[in-house]
Chain A
């Protein structure tokens, strides 16, 4: 018996007798002998709870987390403060351990949470319809592509280079399957190039994809850019950072047909990238094409108000190959965390937090741009994240900052070779003025050290013929 099973030898004997089998091995008889594993799995023997804890704690101890380092990393996931009540509520058995609410009479708690969550996301995005959520941000972008093909009958996506690289790559992965061409539109002065966008959109375009703020942290003029999509009856899909929606004009007021995004900033921990959730909102016209679960309000036979999974005829378990999406298990618990966090912030707190982020970000941006060897990658307005260009190799600078206990930011070079020494710096309410000042100091020292080394290095190297190959 392991600690999670209860069959004693007496139980086994009694059960086998009822079954009419002589051993449990007999029950596996239907597995052809040649396919039965004739050895134990090559895995270590089981461990006690205390030992497992120690082992996992040892592994966790070899990660530099946001408690150990001051974290200025962002790029879609942010080190926000998650209030204590989020943990308390999401760890309740009644929310943690049921499955999808297939039996609504005994799932009113979860269904009502979905309904409340849908209301919140609809409020945030300014669009009338919200689903109960998808896996995470980038695959939600890809899901919008699938929706757009169904809604327009066209197979061409125009995508801003300001959309998160993970989203663009995920969209491309999915498009390889359902079949769509992707045209990318570049950035100019930090924002999506409006002329290039207008040129790229044509009568075959199913959807235009923007992100706001874009990956460089810049606030896009979604309304103006979206005109290109409207002109050709293409859908306008906008990925948004939910934490900025208290201060930025919501996509629903900018002409978006679909607004979606990564939900992690709302009530979810970093978890090295997941689980979080993706939110997905749309116009009334798209309600029967939306992906995933949607809770709806109804009555029971006695007239009591209640909630059920609505519009299930979109979904895989009913429509099978004609479903609007294949998703089944989603991220319900993470959406609950978001709902609790938003309730805790409340209408006023949510706005105050958004304003706090904008102001601290403005301060940090100014403070860092004043550091010798640092310039802004662009001057356009930002909300909670901004991009810099360093006059020194970014890798070693980050390494020096890490030695001072600071994760200074996200290097742009791999995904944006055009910004080779670019760095993305993110601010949350956890990043105090003092920490920002400290970052500026450490950063300055690191850059000047690297520039010194860089210069002396290149001087000594300059007479040498360059190595090729």
Chain B
């Protein structure tokens, strides 16, 4: 059965990422930074209905100067 994806998770391409940490400023709820400034992304799936989180994820994706971020849509735990 094909369900419409109802969860998302933010993903980073670690090779593109420059580690200046803009994403942390744009989406602090979803992105922490490590001691070297590289993003540690909240790995658990977030429901699409969490509109504020989805909005900050989109902000981070758009604000990333290297275009290293991506929102991956998946089916949540059934």
A pairs with B? no
